[in-house]
Amino acid sequence: MNLSLEQFLKNLGVNTQAEITLAIMYYNSFQLANELSPKEIRDAFEQASQPSPSNISQVLSDLRKRKLINKTKSGNYSLTIAGKNLVMRKAEKEGFKFGDEITVTVKEISESLQKKVFEIADYYEREYIEEAIRCLHSTVLAFRAAVLMGWTATIYHLRKKVEHIGFSNFNDEFRKMYPQSKRKSVNHIDDLVDYRDIELLEVCEKMHIYDKYVKKRLKHWLDLRNGCAHPTNINPEIHIVKAFFEEIIEYVLTK
């Protein structure tokens, strides 16, 4: 978003602490911050030259009761779909052309990701990711579907990596990490379907398919994938989805 936070709040015409809090959270989602801590929200009030709430916990509690925000596992807060829609309706009422900006942003990001897709060597993986990215187009806006398809391609690629290196290597590393597991040994790529994604990520790092940093990033995106896999209020912003695709392409699909 090209506007500063202060300009954004002014254009939106928000007045109450609850409205300002929702607008702050929406604005920050465009900066790849899909969730904020109470301190970050208070700091944003000051950044936007707004009086800081005397009791931010109460403001957040009231918004949760209205089902406009969620509390995450990490103790931070994120907007629900209802919360996002409330900000959007406020924008439309004030004549703020927010939808146009989102459409332009989605178009730019889709085109940017499309260029990265050509770096994927495998034809079928490239074709699959192209289809996933089409879910981001302004006429579709199926961000959760895009994430699910992107993650499916990531896991498929990692299974092929394991097959290339050797299943005996995978079996040895898995037994070291999960000595109590009763899972059967892997003798064919289809056997890997019986293993959880988190187990595959852990063992692939031990097999030196990638390093600890990449494993940490992939575990982060696995959390996103899991949140998108069920009919909940979780619906990632376009910039989060952009970062997801950039990293799975760079760290996995082009290796």
Q: What is the CATH number of the domain that holds 84?
A: 1.10.10.10
Q: What is the mean pLDDT of residues 178-201?
A: 96
Same domain, 48 and 156: no
Number of domains in the chain: 2
Last residue of a domain, one of 75, 96, 117: 96
Same domain, 74 and 144: no
Q: Which two tokens stand for residue 203?
A: 């063992």
Same domain, 190 and 89: no
**pLDDT(98) > 60:** no
Last residue of a domain, one of 74, 96, 118: 96
3 pLDDT band, cuts 50/70/90, is confident
31 pLDDT band, cuts 50/70/90, is low
Same domain, 227 and 112: yes
* Better-scored residue on pLDDT, 228 or 237: 228
Runs of H (alpha helix) within the chain = 5-12, 17-29, 38-47, 56-65, 81-93, 98-117, 123-134, 143-165, 167-177, 197-206, 212-228, 238-248
pLDDT at 27: 87
104 pLDDT band, cuts 50/70/90, is low
Last residue of a domain, one of 78, 96, 114: 96
Give the DSSP H/E element, type plus range, for residue 71.
Answer: strand 69-71
Same domain, 33 and 149: no
Distances from the Cα of 12 to the Cα of 45, 91, 139, 152, angstroms = 15, 5, 25, 39
Domain that holds residue 208: 101-253
Question: Mean pLDDT of all residues in the chain?
Answer: 90
Same domain, 177 and 76: no
Most confident of 45-54, 88-97, 105-114: 45-54
CA angle 193, 247, 80 (to 5 degrees): 85
**pLDDT(99) > 60:** no
Question: Shortest CA distance to 6 belongs to which of 45, 54, 42, 40?
Answer: 45
**pLDDT(167) > 90:** yes
Same domain, 89 and 109: no
Same domain, 203 and 238: yes
Q: What is the mean pLDDT of residues 198-224?
A: 97
pLDDT at 213: 97
Same domain, 133 and 218: yes
pLDDT at 248: 97
Same domain, 84 and 208: no
Same domain, 246 and 207: yes
Q: Tell me the C-alpha distance between 23 and 27, whole Å.
A: 6
Same domain, 192 and 214: yes
